[in-house]
Amino acid sequence: MKKNSLISSPEKSKVITINILFITTLMIIFLGIFFSIFSLINNIHFKVLSSSISGAIFGILVLYLGIRYYLSVTKLREELYESSAKFSWRNFKRK
């Protein structure tokens, strides 16, 4: 007797892809937090246009971009899990 999978093969690829994107997003967020803390502890500064800027600022910027990316992936997941979602080249044309 075969077990029927609740998720069909195209759905499995969507799940795997979304999980990879979430893992990447969490790594970006973690690296932003890590670099901010590391920069504060080790007093790291960068020279930008003759100004000295703390490395923690860059870590916070990476953290912000990671959070934005996380929200974008969440929105993408909702769109992909709709039953009417399918690939089309028309999605890539300029409007």
Q: How confident is the model at residue 9 (pLDDT cuts 50, 70, 90)?
A: very low
pLDDT band at 79 (very low <50, low <70, confident <90, very high): confident
Sorting pLDDT into bands at 50, 70 and 90, what band is 67?
very high
Element (H or E) spanning 56, and its range? helix 55-80
Domains of the chain: which residue ranges? 10-82
Q: Model pTM? A: 0.71
Helix-strand-coil percent breakdown of the chain, rounded to 5? 65, 10, 25
Residue 25: other Cβ atoms inside 10 A = 20
Helix 55-80 and helix 9-42: axis angle, to 10°? 170
For tokens 């690296």, name the residue.
31
Q: What is the mean pLDDT of residues 32-41?
A: 94
